[in-house]
Amino acid sequence: MRKLVLFVLCALLATGCASGPEPSDGGNVADPLSMLRQRPSMEEITVRYEEMQQKLRDRLSADLGLATPWINKGDPGQAACQGKELSHVDGAEQHSLDTWAYEGNIPDAQWERAQQIGIDVTKEYGFKELEIVVNRPGDHKVEMRDEFGAQLQFGTKVNTILSLRTGCHLLQSAKG
């Protein structure tokens, strides 16, 4: 009888452990294609993110009195999605959008305001997570993330940089 109870207990423990953790992006990783179909297409989300970046640049320039225009440094890219569940989905990609630079730094006295502008603007577009990556005199960098895994990096040292990498999205042609 003891062996039977021990066997049942071990089986229950093993079953509970085998289910694994919940996916961090809130999606159903058991069916990644279905999860990705519920998200905006890559083309749709790119338009939204580019609009957000423009709004952020405009607000930073206006509110902080940045004297020179932002420069599009380009450097877009695309790659297969990361993670074993998503990397094999046809038509699923992550993109790096154009990097934008302001030639000059944001002074320490204005950084807190600049960071708050970043939080306010990105929040309107679903970015809810903030990580302070660097916070030293004359050197600041934050990363903001949205529910789809996009990462906006905003930093200032010698120059001020905005870069964005999307989360995993299906190309419109793959949404079916």
CATH code where residue 91 lies:
3.30.2030.30
DSSP of 118-135: HHHHHHTTTEEEEEEEEE
15 vs 10: CA distance, rounded Å: 9
Q: Residue 19 falls within a domain, yes or no? A: no
Domain coverage including residue 100: 30-174
Model pLDDT for residues 58-97, shown as the tens digit of each residue: 999 999 999 899 999 998 999 999 888 888 899 999 999 9
Q: Residue 12 falls within a domain, yes or no? A: no
Number of domains into which the chain is organized: 1
**What's this model's pTM, rounded to 2 decimal places?**
0.81
Q: Residue 65 falls within a domain, yes or no? A: yes
Structure tokens at 174: 């793959």
Q: Residue 153 falls within a domain, yes or no? A: yes
* Residue 29 identity (one-letter amino acid): V
Model pLDDT for residues 92-111, shown as the tens digit of each residue: 999 999 999 999 999 999 99
